[in-house]
């Protein structure tokens, strides 16, 4: 016979992370009935010498196992029954298996049984305004200077690098330099391109020097210079030119063949459109971030703690993997940024919490606005993947289904659709 509901009192306490704590008190009158149910459970599992399994009298089994074992079993039975009763009465749908706080180890006669358990439930969701923010989208302009810089970079990538034997250093050359302090101690050699980016002050004084020539030059190293022992310092060093290389740019005909264009004008227009497209995407990213911040400000949402911890662990694992690839220890990374390990972990958790809130908000907006992804849209993306990989449509679809990534693909497409919807509803392009 299950527990009598009239013997159970409970109150509900809301916790952070979309969790609910239920404090329970069971009337002492339920103790004896619960011990009898404990007996019926234990007698099937334990055999007392001289009795067949399942037929040991209760007094004998109590003496054999001890009353503590009976009380422990009775408490566990009552806890499970109360849990099921409350889940049904309150219409709770746990996102994770509920867990009990430390259950009592005994249930004394004439005493009420008290315990509590915590369940994680779908979060209460009060979505705030998400349309009509009237954000301004700046008009994207591309200057001729920007186009020239990109073309120069492409020309360099397509150029041959030749050794300069007789001439002197010119702007745009690549140089290999030896360095020596005033006390004669050697510094590691330096290899860089004279493009006005790394050490402009030094570049000016190197122009005109020839292979084998050396000169004492005093320069100020920037605060963020990669060599920490020189960063932020101003000091004279002896610079010796060991080697000079110069780029030999391709002629116009070869250049146009390489970039798949019929004329310089056509290629300049391609470059213009490419820069514009990239900049417009960055502008949209910025606007979308502003839209999300505004929605987050007026939306009441406390994401499930287990989701937050799961994502935070993944973020941390990926971050540590990247640090490891660069040969950097976490302690050194934290020291450089002047934050403690606890602060770092809290930042990761907050990042995870924000990401989950955004995902849940986007899904909610998709639901409200009836934004969906059709099978045709998914198939079109799969066809594109197949074409890019030179495979058959059916083969790619089978691979995605086997790997279980079809749903991920669908979710990403849905999020992109919601993003487009939010930008359309909240952004006004400038005249």
Over residues 239-265, the pLDDT tens digits come to 999 999 998 888 888 988 988 999 999
Q: How high is the pLDDT of residue 431?
A: 59
The H or E element spanning position 379 is helix 375-389
Give the helix/strand (H/E) hosting 153.
helix 144-157
Q: Mean pLDDT across the stretch 355-377?
A: 93
Given a contact cutoff of 8 angstroms between Cβ atoms, the answer to whether 64 and 46 are in contact is yes
Indicate yes or no: pTM above 0.75.
no
Fold of 160-248: Chitinase A; domain 3 (3.10.50)
Helices 67-90, 58-65: crossing angle, 10 deg rounding: 100
CATH number at 304-429: 1.10.3120.10
Residues 291 and 426 sit within 8 Å (Cβ to Cβ): yes
Q: What CATH architecture does domain 5-122 belong to?
A: 2-Layer Sandwich (3.30)
Distance in angstroms (rounded) separating the CA atoms of residues 66 and 24 = 26
Mean pLDDT of the 254-279 span: 92
Specify the pLDDT at position 99: 87
Q: What is the largest CA-CA distance in the chain?
A: 108
Element (H, E) at 107: none
CA distances from 427 to 78, 135, 138, 288 (A): 57, 5, 10, 9
Mean pLDDT along residues 24-42: 92
Average pLDDT over residues 417-428: 93
Average pLDDT over residues 181-203: 88
Among 12, 181, 178, residue whose Cα is nearest residue 92: 12
Q: Give me the pLDDT at residue 1, please.
A: 57
Helix H, strand E, coil C: the string for 24-51 is EEECCCHHHHHHHHHHHHHCCCCCCCCC
Residues 301 and 357 sit within 8 Å (Cβ to Cβ)? yes
DSSP 53-77: TT---HHHHHHHH-HHHHHHHHHHH
Mean pLDDT along residues 418-430: 89
Helix (H) or strand (E) holding 390: none
pLDDT for res 390: 87
Looking at residue 227, what is its pLDDT? 84
Please give the pLDDT value at position 430: 64
Q: Where are the alpha helices (DSSP H) in 298-374?
A: 305-325, 330-337, 341-368
Is residue 175 a contact partner of residue 192, using CB atoms and an 8 Å limit?
yes
Dihedral sign computed on CA atoms, order 375, 376, 381, 384: positive
Yes or no: say if 256 and 249 are a contact pair by the CB < 8 Å rule: no
Task: In whole angstroms, give the CA distance from residue 375 to residue 410.
Answer: 9
Q: Locate the domains of the chain by residue range.
A: 5-122, 124-158+252-301, 160-248, 304-429
Q: What is the mean pLDDT of residues 168-185?
A: 90
Backbone CA torsion sign across 317, 318, 320, 324: positive
Sign of CA dihedral 366, 367, 368, 369: positive
- 3-state secondary structure string across 122-139: CCCEECCCCCCCCEEECC
Interval 369-382 mean pLDDT: 91
Give buried/exposed letters for 34-65 (b at 16+ CB in 10 A, else e): bbebbbeebbeeeebeeeeeeebeeeebbeeb
Percentage of the chain lying above the pLDDT 70 cut: 99
Range scoring the smallest mean pLDDT among 75-89, 131-145, 216-230: 216-230
Q: How far apart are the first and last CA of the chain?
A: 76
**Has residue 11 got a pLDDT over 90?**
yes
- Residue 5's pLDDT band, with cuts at 50, 70 and 90, is confident
Q: How far apart are CA 402 and CA 394, in angstroms?
A: 12
pLDDT at 165: 87
What is the enclosing helix (H) or strand (E) of 192? strand 186-193
Asked if residues 131 and 368 have their Cβ atoms less than 8 Å apart, the reply is no
pLDDT confidence bin for 31, thresholds 50/70/90:
very high
Q: Average the pLDDT over 46-50 and give the result.
A: 89
Which region among 45-49, 101-105, 149-153, 202-206 has the lowest average model confidence (pLDDT)?
101-105
The answer, yes or no, to whether residue 332 has pLDDT greater than 80, is yes
Mean pLDDT over 71-86 rounds to 92
Average pLDDT value for residue range 284-312:
93
**Residue 122: what pLDDT?**
86
Look at residue 380 and tell me whether its pLDDT is greater than 60: yes
């Amino acid at each position: 016979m299950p527990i009598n509901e009239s013997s159970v009192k409970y109150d509900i306490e809301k916790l952070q992370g979309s969790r609910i704590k239920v404090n329970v008190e069971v009337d002492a009158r339920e103790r004896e009935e619960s011990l009898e149910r404990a007996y019926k459970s234990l007698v099937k599992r334990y055999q007392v010498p001289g009795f067949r399994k399942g037929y040991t009298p209760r007094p004998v089994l109590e003496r054999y196992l001890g009353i503590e074992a009976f009380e422990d079993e009775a408490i566990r039975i009552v806890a499970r029954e109360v849990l099921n009763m409350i889940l049904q009465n309150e219409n709770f749908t746990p996102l994770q298996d509920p867990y009990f706080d430390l259950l009592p180890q005994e249930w004394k006669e004439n005493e009420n049984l008290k315990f509590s358990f915590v369940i994680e439930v779908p979060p209460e969701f009060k979505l705030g305004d998400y349309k009509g923010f009237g954000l301004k989208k700046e008009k994207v302009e591309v200057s001729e200077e920007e186009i020239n810089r990109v073309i120069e970079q492409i020309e360099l990538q397509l150029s041959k690098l030749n050794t300069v034997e007789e001439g002197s250093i010119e702007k745009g050359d690549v140089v290999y330099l030896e360095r020596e302090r005033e006390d004669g101690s050697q510094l590691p050699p330096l290899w860089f391109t004279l493009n006005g980016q790394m050490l402009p002050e030094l570049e000016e004084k190197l122009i005109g020097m020839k292979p084998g020539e050396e000169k004492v030059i005093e320069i100020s190293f920037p605060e963020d210079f990669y060599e920490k022992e020189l960063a932020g310092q101003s000091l004279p060093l002896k610079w010796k030119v060991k080697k000079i290389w110069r780029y030999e740019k391709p002629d116009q005909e070869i250049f146009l063949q390489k970039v798949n264009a019929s004329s310089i004008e056509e290629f300049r227009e391609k470059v213009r459109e490419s820069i514009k497209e990239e900049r417009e995407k960055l502008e949209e990213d910025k606007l979308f971030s502003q839209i999300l911040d505004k929605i987050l400000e007026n939306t009441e949402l406390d994401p499930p703690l287990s989701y937050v911890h799961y994502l935070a662990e993944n973020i941390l694992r990926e971050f540590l993997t990247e640090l490891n690839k660069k040969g950097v220890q976490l302690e050194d990374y934290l020291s450089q940024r002047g934050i403690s390990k606890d602060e770092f972990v809290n930042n990761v958790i907050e990042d995870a919490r924000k990401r989950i809130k955004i995902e849940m908000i986007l899904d909610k907006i998709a639901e409200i606005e009836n934004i969906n992804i059709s099978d045709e849209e998914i198939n079109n993306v799969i066809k594109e993947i197949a074409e890019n990989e030179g495979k058959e449509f059916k083969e790619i679809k089978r691979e995605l289904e086997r790997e279980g990534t079809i749903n991920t693909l669908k979710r990403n497409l849905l999020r992109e659709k919601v993003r487009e919807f939010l930008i359309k509803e909240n952004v006004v392009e400038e005249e």
